[in-house]
Amino acid sequence: EPEVTQTPSHQVTQMGQEVILRCVPISNHLYFYWYRQILGQKVEFLVSFYNNEISEKSEIFDDQFSVERPDGSNFTLKIRSTKLEDSAMYFCASRKGDRGNQPQHFGDGTRLSIL
């Protein structure tokens, strides 16, 4: 069964550095998402992406964050200048989206640790 894949599985970065998290969604899916889960807290929506543009973003997704689908297969999340509070598990998800009520399929996540 097709899967969403995320790399790296663990990223350690110094505060203030830029970080790029990578995701390969399922190939025939049309909607793409990023979520994050701070340790001990609930999974939170960051951003959704459809037709090569952001369709919705949360308050968390400020100017430090950006997303891109550079080559038709990868879907990336960039954090420009990382803060300690960006430490979290980041999940990518994709959804087919050709009709309603189709579930999102999640990757195994990237654990981001900011030092």
Partner 1 sequence: AQSVTQLGSHVSVSEGALVLLRCNYSSSVPPYLFWYVQYPNQGLQLLLKYTSAATLVKGINGFEAEFKKSETSFHLTKPSAHMSDAAEYFCAVSLQGGSEKLVFGKGMKLTVNP
Is residue 65 close enough to count as binding partner 1 by CB under 8 A?
Answer: no
CB 20 within 8 A of CB 77: yes
CA distances from 79 to 2, 18, 86, 95, 112 (A): 28, 6, 9, 23, 11
- Contact (CB, 8 A) for 25 and 5: no
* Look-up of token digits 């509070």: 85
14 lines the binding site for partner 1 (CB under 8 A): no
Under 8 Å between Cβ of 15 and 114: yes
Q: Which two tokens mark 46? A: 């960051």
Residue 69 as a binder of partner 1 (CB under 8 A): the answer is no
Q: How far is the CB of 69 from partner 1 (least distance, A)?
A: 15
Nearer to partner 1, 4 or 19 (CB): 4
Closest distance of CB 16 from partner 1, Å: 28
- Which of 27, 39, 63, 100 contacts partner 1 by CB under 8 A? 100
Residues at the interface with partner 1 (CB under 8 A): 4, 6, 31, 33, 35, 41-45, 48, 50, 55-56, 91, 93, 95, 97, 100-101, 103-109
